[in-house]
Copies of this chain bind each other. A is one copy, B any other.
Amino acid sequence: MRLFATALFLSAALLGGCATPASAPTGSLLVPPERGNGDLGLVIERESGSIGVLDTTARTRLGTIEGLGDLSHASVVFSRDGALAYVFGRDGALTKVNLRTGRIEGRVMQAGNSIGGAISTDGTLLVAQNYQPGGVKVFDARSLQQLADIPAVVDGKASRVVGLADIPRNRFIFSLFDAGQIWIADLANPTQPVLTKFANIGKQPYDALISPDGRTYIVGLFGEDGLAKIDLWAANPKVERILPNYGKGEQPLPVFKMPHLRGWSIAGKHAYLPAIGRHEVLVVDTDTWQEVARIPVAGQPVFVMARPDGRQVWVNFAVPDYDTVQVIDTQTRQIVHSLKPGKAVLHMEFTPRGDAVWISTRDDHRVSVIDTQSFKTLATLPAKSPSGIFFTSRAARTGF
């Protein structure tokens, strides 16, 4: 999941990091040696360039790791063991953080303006997608040494890259905003990427998602209505267009107000997605990719997140409804609960078995833990201008 964020606030901080344990540490560790990290997580503190380390079992904050630079549009992927968080900052920094020790193990400034990254299935490779200078870069996940640079130049012009996702066998798929293409990089030999290119996919792809099984890649288009889709399991994958009216709102939206496709959810046989420019969640059949229903909601949806079991979909909203969250029951397609967890809801992360959701409210400087059945607030944790929340259970999932 990438974050819906609209502005850059901070200048880049340089290399450095220190851990401030919230409670008695073991030696200099945030997590005692005998304790596991499968239930840990982190919250991005966008304005202070720090992350808070979270314990989803005790529902506490274990400590703070500082010195990560500009985190206004940060995204995170995890090592296979779940101990290492790789933080991709908007400022082009890639920082390797150990959640167990609370220490920064490495940091490189890899680009001028970055929009996130991904990790290979085997955990050995990191790939960053960049706005400036465009293209993607490949790094050794252990050393952060650069292994390859893939400039994404088409007709002599460098393209910004969006919609990066890992797919099986150390391959990565991404979209070229300026060139209107989709590329797959096969990194079986990381220093010699093998590229497969799909041209003429539509104008200005601005974000994408990969289905949970790694099969279907869907790209949103800013320059025209509709979306582009590739079935990666096909014998000869090709680009198809779906939902030809998607994008037609009451009025055109600027790009920074376009709901990110990472805010889509596929649950069971349906995808749930934010209508653009309308106060609706769209329900789409994933067999036919036809719209089958629209659910009225409180505002312009931003993230439309399925609980892991698919029974509920949680929705947050753009300004002025950004203090509200609504819960849709996917069986009845009715809103079963509305809540106001705080000002400027920026992200929602479910525990992997779906019993709770963690919600960051930037302007109230807190993270709320909500029971998804009773809708009671189970805990409230302090966080400075929190945005993204990322749990280590993502390490086991494709496309996260």
A-side interface residues toward B, CB under 8 Å?
A: 26-27, 29, 31-40, 56-57, 78-84, 98, 100-101, 121-123, 168-169, 213-215, 233, 268-269, 308-311, 331, 352-355, 373, 392-393, 395-398
Contacts and interface: CB of A to CB of B under 8 A. Distances in A.
For this chain, the copies found in one complex come to 2
Nearest to A395: B38
A373 B168 contact: yes
A127 to B, nearest CB: 16
A239 B83 CA distance: 44
Contacts of A81: 35-40, 57
A213 B37 contact: no
A275 to B, nearest CB: 26
Contacts of A268: 213
Given A40-B81, A213-B311, 10 more contacts: A38-B82, A38-B392, A38-B396, A39-B123, A57-B123, A168-B309, A168-B353, A168-B355, A213-B268, A269-B269
A181 to B, nearest CB: 25
Contact of A33 (B33, B352, B353): B33
A269 B56 CA distance: 32
Q: Which 6 A-B pairs have the closest CB atoms?
A: A36-B83, A36-B81, A38-B82, A352-B396, A33-B33, A39-B80
A324 to B, nearest CB: 25
